[in-house]
Structure 1
Amino acid sequence: MATPTPTLEARDLVVDVPGRQDGRALTLGIASGQVWGVLGPNGAGKTTLLHTLAGLRPSRAGEVCLEGRPLFGWRRRALARRLGLVFQERHDDFPATVRETALIGRHPFLSPWQQEGPEDHALAAAALARLDLSHLAERELATLSGGERQRVSLATVLTQAPAIWLADEPTNHLDLHHQVAVMGLLAEQAERGGAVMMCLHDLNMAARWCSHLLLLYPDGEACWGPAEAMLVPAALERLYDQALTRVEVEGAPVFVPRR
């Protein structure tokens, strides 16, 4: 079987994690159809990595390439048409409704001062429906719960319709039902030819939904590969400094912490 062509690549990339002087260089590619999970303890550099891949932070060494071209060579509007980023937390400086926020996802496709058209509104409405937000479309963001606000962020990127999703803890603040729905949504993007990389704290969500995993250790070490090769208790116990028991549920691995 042919190796998938990477859509987003890290080439000898060393992420500039504050307070850490070392770090293994990453050379990996995120290809269409893949769902990557980034796992590691707090402070390991997961968010910093995602922001570096999105072009929001400089790297210490190496480069990021999109479709074979260095990221710095892309115009921001062209980049935003291909790559979407879900932040772990957002701060809303201006009042806006849920619908107005979702429509921000169409801005890379509009010229300055151009108003959203019927197609843009249709995409936003479909995204709100997909994230179970249609009934909140006219609500102000400030009135939403944390989980509802997180789903608005996801709906905004879904309205943007990028080929590549970078998601920082996309299930943050969500109840179990919506966690499963969001993970299913991200897997669906890959099934349709997109590529996904997300930071996760839920090991079992990663085991259930990810095709590939990147393990970031607090000392700067990293290892990556297909999920089945990474889901080894010894490696995960060292990653989290926590004893784990692996069991199988309906053919899928589940990790239970031991005292």
Structure 2
Amino acid sequence: MTGPAAKGPEGKGLAATGLEARGLVIDVPGRPDGRALDLAIEPGQRWGVLGPNGAGKTTLLHTLAGLRPPRAGEVSLDGTPLARRRRRELARHLGVVFQERHDDFPATVRETALIGRHPFLSPWRQEGPEDYARAEAALERLELSHLAERELATLSGGERQRVSLATVLTQAPRFWLADEPTNHLDLHHQVAIMTLLAEQAERGRGVIMCLHDLNLAARWCSHLLLLYPDGEACWGPAEAMLAPDALERLYDQTLTCVEVDGALVFVPRKSVCAR
């Protein structure tokens, strides 16, 4: 199965603006070159990256963010390769929610959210009223205002995840790159975060997120990228990618597909797929 892929939903070529991957082969140690990716994350789109553990989802996200080099090809922003842009400039456009965090220094929730404004501050300049206002609004949106003075080390995993999202919301980037944004979250907050990301797309921002929850992807994503363990990949509009046979092969797991309130829901069966 190949990506109808390399073209947009209307069958057009890649966009001249946006976050683009051209001939991109991500560098997954110990794996031969997979299919080269030619895709564009455009403003207003919500991309979901699906695949089993070890397929390279996090590696792809870090490569798209310019945090690690590709094995081949390049990533560009508005037509300019990331390698030719300054890190500070990229930080004004690309916001990353990491799957793993290392809080090496003590900080409060509010102080952490304010980190999102650092790319916009000149050297030695402290945050101003507008920066604080953005941080406070982000904390309120993520239901964290009551924890603003708490130290990060005292938070639960779910609370810490929401702080990470509040930091990127304070940053207000053009493109969100989120690695498991619903990790550690209960059902209420999973829906709240997916709603937030959908709102960002509606406001003209591009979103790409790695997800393990197939049903969240089916409900909330406009486009999907399927990464197989052998390096194969296919991508395109979500309705074209949600084929049960392709998803069963992706996860090596038999699935039952039903429709609930107009949306597809995938339920794993007790049996697994034959390899």
Q: Please, what TM-score do these two structures have when normalized by structure 2?
A: 0.93
Supply the AA of the counterpart residue of 2:97.
V
Q: CA RMSD in A?
A: 1.1
Partner of 1:157: 168
- Cα shift at 1:70: 0.6
Q: Which of 243, 265, 271 in structure 2 is aligned with 1:254?
A: 265
Partner of 1:140: 151
Q: Deviations over 1:137-193 (max 9, x none)?
A: 000000000000000000000000000000000000001000000000001100000
Partner of 1:207: 218
Q: Which of 62, 82, 104 in structure 1 is aligned with 2:115?
A: 104
The separation in 2 between residues aligned to 1:96 and 1:2, in whole angstroms, is 48
Q: Which of 24, 30, 33 in structure 2 is aligned with 1:13?
A: 24
The separation in 2 between residues aligned to 1:181 and 1:99, in whole angstroms, is 20
Partner of 1:38: 49
Q: Which of 54, 63, 66 in structure 2 is aligned with 1:55?
A: 66
Supply the AA of the counterpart residue of 1:82.
H
Q: Deviations over 1:56-77 (max 9, x none)?
A: 1010000001011111111111
Q: Which of 70, 79, 87 in structure 1 is aligned with 2:90?
A: 79
**Alignment partner of 1:173 is 2:184:** yes
Partner of 2:253: 242
The separation in 1 between residues aligned to 2:263 and 2:68, in whole angstroms, is 36
Q: Deviations over 1:195-243 (max 9, x none)?
A: 0000000000000000000000001100000000000000000000000
Structure 2, unaligned runs of 5 or more: 1-9, 271-275
> Secondary structure of 1:166's partner?
strand
The separation in 1 between residues aligned to 2:200 and 2:29, in whole angstroms, is 32
Percentage of matched positions with identical amino acids: 82
> Secondary structure of 2:95's partner?
strand
**Alignment partner of 1:120 is 2:131:** yes
**Alignment partner of 1:89 is 2:100:** yes
The separation in 2 between residues aligned to 1:175 and 1:248, in whole angstroms, is 23
Supply the AA of the counterpart residue of 1:187.
A
Partner of 1:25: 36
The separation in 2 between residues aligned to 1:21 and 1:218, in whole angstroms, is 11
The separation in 1 between residues aligned to 2:53 and 2:18, in whole angstroms, is 28
> Secondary structure of 1:94's partner?
coil
Supply the AA of the counterpart residue of 1:88.
Q
**Alignment partner of 1:197 is 2:203:** no
Partner of 2:242: 231
> Secondary structure of 1:81's partner?
helix
- Cα shift at 1:22: 2.1
Q: How many residues align?
A: 259
The separation in 2 between residues aligned to 1:32 and 1:116, in whole angstroms, is 28
The separation in 1 between residues aligned to 2:25 and 2:171, in whole angstroms, is 29
The separation in 1 between residues aligned to 2:205 and 2:249, in whole angstroms, is 32
The separation in 2 between residues aligned to 1:19 and 1:141, in whole angstroms, is 36
Q: Which of 215, 229, 238 in structure 2 is aligned with 1:218?
A: 229
> Secondary structure of 1:245's partner?
strand
The separation in 1 between residues aligned to 2:62 and 2:245, in whole angstroms, is 29
The separation in 1 between residues aligned to 2:85 and 2:229, in whole angstroms, is 32
Partner of 2:140: 129
Partner of 2:199: 188
Supply the AA of the counterpart residue of 1:63.
E
Structure 1, unaligned runs of 5 or more: none
The separation in 1 between residues aligned to 2:181 and 2:40, in whole angstroms, is 21
Supply the AA of the counterpart residue of 1:237.
E
The separation in 2 between residues aligned to 1:70 and 1:252, in whole angstroms, is 38
